[in-house]
Amino acid sequence: MDRIPEIALDWHRAGKGAVLCTVVQTWGSAPRRIGSQLVVSGQGDIQGSVSGGCVEGAVIVEALDALEDGKHRMLEFGVSDGDAFAVGLACGGTIRVLVEPVGAVMPEQVLADLVAAREARQPVALVADLKGGGRSLTGQGHEDRFRMDRSGFDEDERVFVTIHNPPLRLLIVGAVHIAQALVQIARVAGYDPVLIDPRDTFGAQERFPGETIVNDWPDEGVRAFGLDTRTALVLLTHDPKLDDPALHAALASDVFYIGALGSTRTHAARVTRLTEAGFTEAQIARIHGPVGLDIGAANPAEIALSIMAEITRVLRRGA
């Protein structure tokens, strides 16, 4: 997760001044998505980006001016704009950037509350009323925006909503062969993978160099890392003694994805056990089993790919 709000708060409190610059609209081949941020200090230090480097220079100049006069700015760069070629945006893209000095426009307390929410892994939306001038945080509403990680304007472009979701996390129960490929694919896709396996022979650093490995019982392991709306859980052991405790914990949580390895027959037996344990049909239906999209996967790496593809589909489109 980028640390732009945290850096902005630190710079502001250190007396350096800080200006948050946020991409609020894009068209064509703009290189950064809506919600991307750049922070500029009063000394011209920068962190983050709002483009591929082609408009940052112009944005920095405007940010320093905003720090002096204490007013927000809405900047637009595009190929139809004569200034676009001067800043190098000649690739067919157009972007709009909201520039907000911390303190004068972005209240320090709102920014501090945002930083605290991010540290606590609480999904929050920063709502900016561009006409009324208000800035506020909310964890309610905007369900589609949270799920899609999609910041954006409301219908009349008066209010801009910046989504701040916690980093994505993938909890993998069972440090088996498939997991060796899955942790790599998960990292490339932007997840923090965690391996949970009480069997030291499986959950060994030699098999997963540099990865986070928890050798606790699965239900204890998944609870230790939290089961929130930005967490996916994948069960790979085939062993009910290991899979079921983690499943019990996950089905009572808000994880956005639960997947369990095994054949159709294995999953049917799993459903029977969970029903006897008192879980409802709706709860059990959250489990994707057999896990992964049906892409004809024939080896551990392809199975891992199918799992990551299904996780992505659920994250972006819903269950």
Q: Which of 111, 145, 164 is the last residue of a domain?
A: 164
93 with 135, same domain? yes
Q: Please report, for the domain that includes residue 228, its CATH number.
A: 3.40.50.720
152 with 193, same domain? no
Kindly indicate the confidence band of residue 30, based on its pLDDT and cuts at 50, 70 and 90.
low
Return the pLDDT at 211.
92
Q: How far is CA 48 from CA 3, 146, 281, in A?
A: 9, 22, 46
129 with 225, same domain? no
Return the pLDDT at 27.
74
Exposure string for 145-176, b = 16+ CB within 10 A, e = fewer: bbbbbebbbeeeeebbbbbbbbebbbbbbbbb
217 with 274, same domain? yes
Q: Tens of pLDDT along 273-306? A: 999 999 999 999 999 999 999 999 999 999 999 9
Q: What is the C-alpha separation between 264 and 290, in angstroms, rounded? A: 6
154 with 268, same domain? no
Return the pLDDT at 56.
85
Kindly indicate the confidence band of residue 1, based on its pLDDT and cuts at 50, 70 and 90.
low
Q: Tens of pLDDT along 38-82? A: 999 999 999 998 877 778 889 999 999 999 999 999 999 875 555
The CA angle 122-128-134, to the nearest 5 degrees, is: 110
125 with 184, same domain? no
Least confident window among 88-102, 153-167, 212-226, 241-255 = 88-102
Kindly indicate the confidence band of residue 93, based on its pLDDT and cuts at 50, 70 and 90.
low
58 with 146, same domain? yes
159 with 172, same domain? no
Contact status, residue 10 vs residue 86, Cβ threshold 8 Å: no
Residue 88 has pLDDT above 60, yes or no: no
Taking the model in full, what pTM does it have?
Answer: 0.75
Return the pLDDT at 124.
95
180 with 108, same domain? no
Peptide bond into 198 cis (omega under 30): no
Position 202: which residue type?
Answer: F
Q: Tens of pLDDT along 151-206? A: 999 878 899 999 999 889 999 999 999 999 999 999 999 899 999 999 999 999 99
Tokens standing for 287?
């489990």
Domain boundaries, position 129: 4-164
Exposure string for 246-279, b = 16+ CB within 10 A, e = fewer: bbbbbbebebbbbbbbbeeebbeebbeebeeeeb
Q: What is the C-alpha separation between 158 and 134, in angstroms, rounded? A: 11
204 with 98, same domain? no
- Average pLDDT estimate for 25-31: 70
Q: Which of 136, 164, 192 is the last residue of a domain?
A: 164
198 with 143, same domain? no
Strand partners, 163: 125
Q: What does the mean pLDDT of the chain come to? A: 90
Q: Which of 119, 144, 164 is the last residue of a domain?
A: 164
Kindly indicate the confidence band of residue 29, based on its pLDDT and cuts at 50, 70 and 90.
low
Residue 84 has pLDDT above 80, yes or no: no
127 with 175, same domain? no
Q: Tens of pLDDT along 202-226? A: 999 999 999 999 999 999 999 888 8
Return the pLDDT at 50.
85
Give the residue, 106 or 140, on which the prediction is more confident.
Answer: 106
Q: Tens of pLDDT along 265-275? A: 999 999 999 99
Q: What is the C-alpha separation between 109 and 9, in angstroms, rounded? A: 9
Residue 31 has pLDDT above 70, yes or no: no
Report how many domains make up the chain. Answer: 2
